[in-house]
Chain A
């Protein structure tokens, strides 16, 4: 009987502990830069703009979380965002479909990319990161063909998702949807089940391959939403080649690692949102310090490495490739 109380008590404090940890991270990262550059950093207005910027990656990350929890990876995130944004822009602009074209075009493209990723991965039986590396090459070139080598600019009349409150509304809708799928559908349960032990899940009658493909589709669709936010925020998108789109992989991936680390507290989605906020505070902190853009790349790489190092907990003797 005493164990009951103990375990519910532990659980409650688990979530609280998670939030305390995250808020502490926000305060520390804010505090450090506020002390160093008190003038041009960290006012409430500034913080709001950091938060707005962090919404972009957070939306992609909550979708990508479904793929990561299952233990798979996706190298084509950046290429997907680029392609989806360009298709959305073309739909909205060239075809004159307006907001509907932008949102539907981007999300449908994202989901389609997810479907292709998932299908190739499941059918070819090749590690997901390798399949998605190959496919990223293809997506980049397709985006290039569609864009015709020109920068795609979103008309100023279609940028409601680039500022308050449009971006916040779309992001909240996305978070709510992810929360719903994760906690209130079979997909969520099966996602965790497959991530925990694929063989047992398969024996329980779960169509593992189907749900893996589904995870990629969900991830792709959310990256499509991220694409809408990205092109609305930045107003244009250039189709790059030569795997340069990979640089867009990092920030959503970092948020995902926050989600994985806080999974045990039962709060992955809030962790992703707050995690992305922390990352943005640090980025803008360095900008406020006047660090050159090249240094930002260094920070990005190092930050992901540190986050992964801190959040992964490998069992003794486990083989890591």
Chain B
């Protein structure tokens, strides 16, 4: 009986070890494999790849908080789009104003999501697919005839130092807050058992509301980095960002229902793995549909591995 228990415990331990190390092993493997397959041209274009990581990684941080609580957000692409347009329009006046405007625009859409999700109690994925579509319509309307162009001055900010600096600060601040304050424990507790968390004195509705606003604001900041890179906002700006973030977080080992098994490393490893993987596949000369097929398959495999089924009594 005792042997059986320790046996089961060891198995659990090994399983957990695999779970926690798989994304990192995956990242290293993918890097090595693609570098060999592309004869090192991937390493040579590292700057280009790095350039694509910023936006995904920054906005994934906000979604990471949302998913830790067990929520979802499919409106990230549209938040990015609206915020990008706001940044472009304000960039002519004042760059600080443009940054703040982007953040504010993101926060407002986040609050819009949160209102329906928290106050009206509608499932987060339904709310956010609605707002995704809604604000995509607004973006199309604003940028239908021609892209919204930013002031040429934004290109002055297109330096690795600034982009990396913004990304690193978002990550470091988020990491410290998530890991070393009560914030992270509360978010994980909401994901693992919202009712009990409420009964332990956490103002769960307030936290949920604020996280959606925060996540919108973070993506609004990412919109600045996006515009610095691209110089203008087209009708397609930010589209598919939500899927990219979702795949990135899942690749990073994030349990889809959030909760106690969430780690902050999920954001970093996941975003890196996602960007390296897609770029590698592009360099291999794969078509868009082939890439999408591979993404879909890998997504499902990783979701299946990392899903925290214990905390879902009925899976809907």
A residues at B contact (CB < 8 Å): 70-73, 120-121, 124-131, 133-138, 140-142, 144-145, 149, 198-199, 241-243, 246-247, 249-250, 292-302, 304-305, 308-309, 312, 314, 317-321
Interface with A: B9-17, B90-98, B164-172, B300-308, which one?
Answer: B300-308
Which residue of chain A is the closest to B295 with respect to CB atoms? A137
- The docked-state distance in angstroms from the alpha carbon of A198 to that of B216 is 36
| Given A317-B195, A320-B117, residue A133 in contact with residue B315 (CB < 8 A) | no
Note all chain B residues with C-beta closer than 8 A to A295. Answer: 137, 141
Question: Is A141 in contact with B256, judged by CB distance below 8 angstroms?
Answer: no
11 extra interface residue pairs, beta carbon distance < 8 Å, beyond A138-B292, A138-B293: A73-B316, A124-B303, A124-B307, A131-B303, A133-B246, A141-B289, A198-B314, A246-B129, A301-B133, A304-B126, A309-B122
Find residues 46-97 in chain B having any chain A CB closer than 8 Å to their own CB: 70-72
Min CB gap A183→B, angstroms: 24
Question: Is B137 in contact with A319, judged by CB distance below 8 angstroms?
Answer: no
Question: Is A314 in contact with B121, judged by CB distance below 8 angstroms?
Answer: yes
Question: Is B122 in contact with A241, judged by CB distance below 8 angstroms?
Answer: no
| Given A137-B293, A301-B132, residue A321 in contact with residue B71 (CB < 8 A) | yes
Asked if B179 lies at the interface with its beta carbon under 8 angstroms from chain A, I say no
| Given A137-B299, A241-B288, A301-B132, residue A130 in contact with residue B256 (CB < 8 A) | yes
Asked if B40 lies at the interface with its beta carbon under 8 angstroms from chain A, I say no
Asked if B140 lies at the interface with its beta carbon under 8 angstroms from chain A, I say yes
Note all chain B residues with C-beta closer than 8 A to A319. Answer: 194-195
Tell me the dominant secondary structure on chain B's binding face.
Answer: helix
Q: Mark B167-202, 1 if CB is under 8 A from A, else 0.
A: 000000000000000000000000000110000000
Question: Is A128 in contact with B130, judged by CB distance below 8 angstroms?
Answer: no
Find residues 126-146 in chain B having any chain A CB closer than 8 Å to their own CB: 126-127, 129-138, 140-141, 144
Question: Is A126 in contact with B134, judged by CB distance below 8 angstroms?
Answer: no
Asked if B125 lies at the interface with its beta carbon under 8 angstroms from chain A, I say yes
Asked if B7 lies at the interface with its beta carbon under 8 angstroms from chain A, I say no
Asked if B219 lies at the interface with its beta carbon under 8 angstroms from chain A, I say no
| Given A138-B293, A242-B292, A321-B71, residue A292 in contact with residue B122 (CB < 8 A) | no
Note all chain B residues with C-beta closer than 8 A to A305. Answer: 116, 122, 127, 130-131, 134
Note all chain A residues with C-beta closer than 8 A to B278. Answer: none
Min CB gap A260→B, angstroms: 12
| Given A131-B300, A298-B141, residue A320 in contact with residue B122 (CB < 8 A) | yes
Question: Is A296 in contact with B293, judged by CB distance below 8 angstroms?
Answer: no
Question: Is A127 in contact with B141, judged by CB distance below 8 angstroms?
Answer: no
Min CB gap A75→B, angstroms: 8
Q: Mark B238-267, 1 if CB is under 8 A from A, else 0.
A: 011001001000000000110000000000
Q: Mark B273-316, 1 if CB is under 8 A from A, else 0.
A: 00000000000000011101101110110011001010010111
Which residue from B121, B136, B315 sits with its C-beta under 8 Å from A126? B315
Which residue of chain A is the closest to B242 with respect to CB atoms? A243
Note all chain A residues with C-beta closer than 8 A to B120. Answer: 309, 312
Question: Is B309 in contact with A125, judged by CB distance below 8 angstroms?
Answer: yes
Question: Is B121 in contact with A320, judged by CB distance below 8 angstroms?
Answer: yes
- The docked-state distance in angstroms from the alpha carbon of A99 to that of B289 is 29
| Given A127-B312, A249-B129, A294-B141, residue A321 in contact with residue B70 (CB < 8 A) | yes
Min CB gap B260→A, angstroms: 16
| Given A297-B136, A301-B137, residue A134 in contact with residue B300 (CB < 8 A) | yes
Asked if B124 lies at the interface with its beta carbon under 8 angstroms from chain A, I say yes
Question: Is A318 in contact with B303, judged by CB distance below 8 angstroms?
Answer: no
- The docked-state distance in angstroms from the alpha carbon of A312 to that of B122 is 8
Min CB gap A184→B, angstroms: 27
| Given A126-B304, A309-B120, residue A138 in contact with residue B134 (CB < 8 A) | no
Note all chain B residues with C-beta closer than 8 A to A120. Answer: 300
Note all chain B residues with C-beta closer than 8 A to A318. Answer: 121
Which residue of chain A is the closest to B309 with respect to CB atoms? A125
Asked if B206 lies at the interface with its beta carbon under 8 angstroms from chain A, I say no
Min CB gap B245→A, angstroms: 12
Question: Is A241 in contact with B256, judged by CB distance below 8 angstroms?
Answer: no
Interface centre among B133, B141, B288 (most CB of A within 10 A): B133
Asked if B203 lies at the interface with its beta carbon under 8 angstroms from chain A, I say no
Question: Is A242 in contact with B122, judged by CB distance below 8 angstroms?
Answer: no
- The docked-state distance in angstroms from the alpha carbon of A270 to that of B238 is 39
